Chains A and B, each alone.
Chain A
Amino acid sequence: AQSVTQLGSHVSVSEGALVLLRCNYSSSVPPYLFWYVQYPNQGLQLLLKYTTGATLVKGINGFEAEFKKSETSFHLTKPSAHMSDAAEYFCAVGENSGGYQKVTFGTGTKLQVIP
């Protein structure tokens, strides 16, 4: 069974500081990994995804994540936080299961950006 653990339900950073949101996963098969962002009262928007190939994945809005198989991690980073980055972020692991894509989500990390 696959699972996702996001460390820290709330993270606060100063504007301009590094953003680091942590995600660890478990999966019995090579994983597909995703980060989604959710702004207040909106749906989830795909930020980036890892399928195969290059382990450093670049996404929208300056975010990137690195797949580290040995650490079973897929942490999300951004060099310099903007006020507009304040949102909730979800890490997810997916696998093809009996014909449909089973996606397991973490419980989310709310990012607060302090001016």
Chain B
Amino acid sequence: DAGITQSPRHKVTETGTPVTLRCHQTENHRYMYWYRQDPGHGLRLIHYSYGVKDTDKGEVSDGYSVSRSKTEDFLLTLESATSSQTSVYFCAISATSGRTNQETQYFGPGTRLLVL
């Protein structure tokens, strides 16, 4: 358990409304990630953060923004939700383990978002 929580766990919203998803971690990890999961696509990276106020885009960042004002919180915002953003959203952290210093990603429980 990497101490990751996501809120809300389920959300139904209407097209055009703003939506913010929250990821919270308790273990002071530097790197945090937002992915979306869709059938047939696996997980795709939306944005990631490498520190407070340090973020960058992933492969599917259009329509999403992020913020990280505290180490423990990483927020994902859909400024104006569209039906194509209906998905399951996962937050992840990366932690170093073992002698190789290789980082491994650990995932939160996910947020299921439905945009009507």
Contacts and interface: CB of A to CB of B under 8 A. Distances in A.
B104 A49 contact: yes
Interface string A47-82: 001011100000000000000000000000000000
Nearest to B35: A105
A91 B50 CA distance: 24
B90 A43 contact: yes
Contacts of A100: 31, 48, 50, 56, 94
The winner among A53, A100, A105, A108 for most chain B CB atoms within 10 A is A100
Interface stretch (B12-20, B68-76, B77-85, B106-114): B106-114
Binding site of A, secondary structure by majority: helix, strand, loop or mixed?
strand
Binding site of B, secondary structure by majority: helix, strand, loop or mixed?
strand
A43 B103 CA distance: 18
B108 A43 contact: yes
Contacts of B90: 43-44
A25 B68 CA distance: 33
A42 B110 CA distance: 7
